[in-house]
Chain A
Amino acid sequence: MLAESLTLSAALFTIGVVGVLTRRNAIIVFMCVELMLNAVNLSFVALSRLYGATGQVFVIFVMTVAAAEAAVGLAIIIAIFRHKKSVNLQDINLLRG
């Protein structure tokens, strides 16, 4: 089942990348990043069968960082929405000269 798991993980990561590149809604882009993190977690778990349970320790670290990232990222999105009244990434061009 290892090859299948890694294939599924790569496919999910690809779908996440495509979502990040094609969507404009900042929240959906964030969710695509979460999907990519999940794909990496699947790789960790699959390979932990081969190399011991240390991989699962890293999955827990990834989950913690993902939770922190989601909290801060969504707070930033709320702040931007207060400022711009939009979460469309095209409207957020404050740094453009």
Chain B
Amino acid sequence: MQNEFLPLFYTFHFYLFGLIALVGAIVFVTRKSPVAAALWLVVVMFALAALYVMLDAQFVGMMQILVYAGAIMVVFLFVVMLLNLGHPSDLNDMRGKLGRLLAGLVGLALVAELMALTRSEVTMKLVVPPVENAATGTAGIIGPIAGPLFKEYLLAFELTSVLLLVAIIGAVVLAKKRSN
């Protein structure tokens, strides 16, 4: 088991950032104001970025901060402020009894699945092998990601760029003011 060789420092911070992400997510779904919710979601994303770095995925961690916390959440906040939705009182945000009951049931089912999974033998077999550190290789940190991205998944990569173009044009067309 790899865990016995991990220093206490690593373990402590892993649990710390995990706790920040969990608490931030819970606070995020319970906020009434969209602005407060968005900022709490940014906290969750930063904690997740820290976890990515600790899981030897430094590049993904940076992308998380740049794309999610830097771009997507800014777009969300921009729309909230553009539509002037910062006032939580006139939104009547929470759903009725039925919605809450349904959500509670779904939540309970998912947590039960989670409990069953953590007690099953599958998770016992998921032992992290001793990692040969990606940073020490000649390919660096990004090389192991860029290799498959531009070889096996090249078609998907190109299709993604088309998707982004379509999304840009679609967003402009949808959000444009009708002139007549």
Asked if A and B are interacting partners, one says yes
> A residues bordering B, Cβ < 8 Å?
1-8, 10-19, 21-25, 27-28, 30-32, 34-35, 38, 41-42, 45-46, 48-50, 52-54, 56-57, 59-61, 63-72, 74-79, 81-82, 87-88, 90
Nearest residue, chain A, Cβ from B118: A7
Chain A residues with Cβ under 8 A from B167's Cβ?
A: 67-69, 71-72
Asked whether A67 lies within 8 Å of B21 as measured between CB atoms, the reply is: no
Task: Name the contact of A60 in the complex, choosing from B38, B149, B175 (C-beta under 8 A).
Answer: B149
Chain B residues with Cβ under 8 A from A15's Cβ?
A: 25-26, 28-29
Asked whether B55 lies within 8 Å of A31 as measured between CB atoms, the reply is: no
**Total chain B interface residues with beta-carbon distance under 8 A:** 86
Asked whether A67 lies within 8 Å of B71 as measured between CB atoms, the reply is: yes
Contact A41 B106, CB 8 Å, known A4-B14, A34-B68, A68-B164: no
Give the interface SS of chain A, mostly helix, strand, loop or mixed.
helix
Can you list 6 contacts pairing A with B, beta carbon distance less than 8 Å? A17-B107, A24-B92, A64-B164, A66-B68, A78-B83, A90-B92
